[in-house]
Amino acid sequence: MDILLTNDDGIQALGLRALYRALTRAGHRVHVVAPVTEQSAVGHAVTMSLPLRVREFSESDFFGLGVSGTPADCVKLGLTTLLDQPPDLVVSGINSGANVGVDILYSGTVSAATEGALMSVPALAVSVDDFKPRDLSGQAEYCAGLIPGIPWAEVPEKTILNLNFPSCPVAQAGPLVVCPHTRVSYRDWYVERLDPRGNPYYWLEGVIPPDRISPGKDRALLSQGHVTLTPLRFDFNDQATLDLLRARLGLD
């Protein structure tokens, strides 16, 4: 396959490099277009008022294009301009940190995959439930093994697949489960500290409340050590509320 590989942790990130090696070794043609700097939690932002610069990262065992923008920028620029022909698949990751539940909205990793799907290219987002992974070669090999078995032609347009690995080594992970995402929102708080000039600054912390995590969905299964695969479709329509509003506003 021709694969556009991107991420939100930046072109130097461990997870992207691991996927590059595994996918290349599996015989795929891997085209890397990834942010030069870390873009975690930028969501689906696109750059509208700054130029995008592209820089080659040419190394003995790696070649990729680094973009001075967001993950969605990378996919847009890659698909419209930098690649000679459309790839068969967009792969985004492997992200350091799980992307489950509402993370999907904040995640640059998932948004890059979504951008691929919006541009009619099948897409896979990949994350690991570990903010400081030291070796993702096992997870990358697992991805390379999984990709050929996915019925990509039958995945509807504007649907992406969101794969999450548990924090343990892949050899110790539970079986793959296909499951929905949790709908629980984060409980957020900000740590207040003082900068060197004595002025306060704020740093976001948050957790998906463990007591509200529903069983059978991605967050719970991931915590139990499963590898989770969740199809996500871009469709924010709410038919029930649409019908309700039409009725209440007398617009039937």
Where on the chain is the footprint of Mn ion (CB under 5 A)?
8-9, 40, 95
Nearer to Mn ion, 152 or 186 (CB): 186
CB of 109 vs Mn ion, minimal distance in Å: 6
Residue with the CB atom nearest Mn ion in the bound state: 40
Question: What whole-number distance in Å separates Cα of residue 95 and Cα of residue 149?
Answer: 22
CB of 113 to Mn ion, least distance (A): 13
CB of 104 to Mn ion, least distance (A): 13
Q: Are 179 and 242 in contact (CB under 8 A)?
A: no
Cβ proximity to Mn ion: between 203 and 236 the closer is: 203
As measured in angstroms, the least distance from the Cβ of 121 to Mn ion is 21
List strands edge to edge, sheet with 159-165.
54-59, 62-67, 29-35, 2-6, 89-96, 123-128, 159-165, 226-233, 174-178
**Cα dist from 217 to 42, 139, 183, 189, whole Å:** 24, 21, 9, 24
**93, 126 Cβ separation under 8 angstroms:** yes
In the complex, least distance from residue 89 CB atom to Mn ion, rounded to whole angstroms: 20
* Token reading at 45: 């932002």
Task: Give whichever of 68 and 86 is closer to Mn ion, judged by the CB atom.
Answer: 68
* Burial readout 141-155 (b: 16 or more C-beta within 10 A, e: otherwise): bbbbebbeeeebeeb
Alpha-carbon gap, residue 94 to 14, rounded angstroms: 8
Smallest gap from residue 155 Cβ to Mn ion (A) = 24
Which stretch of DSSP H or E encloses residue 138? helix 137-146
Nearer of residues 167 and 197 to Mn ion, judged by Cβ: 167
Do the Cβ atoms of 108 and 97 come closer than 8 Å? Answer: no
- The nearer residue to Mn ion, 207 or 242, going by C-beta atoms, is 207
Q: Output 145 or 206, the one with its CB closest to Mn ion.
A: 206
Residue with tokens 């794969």: 163
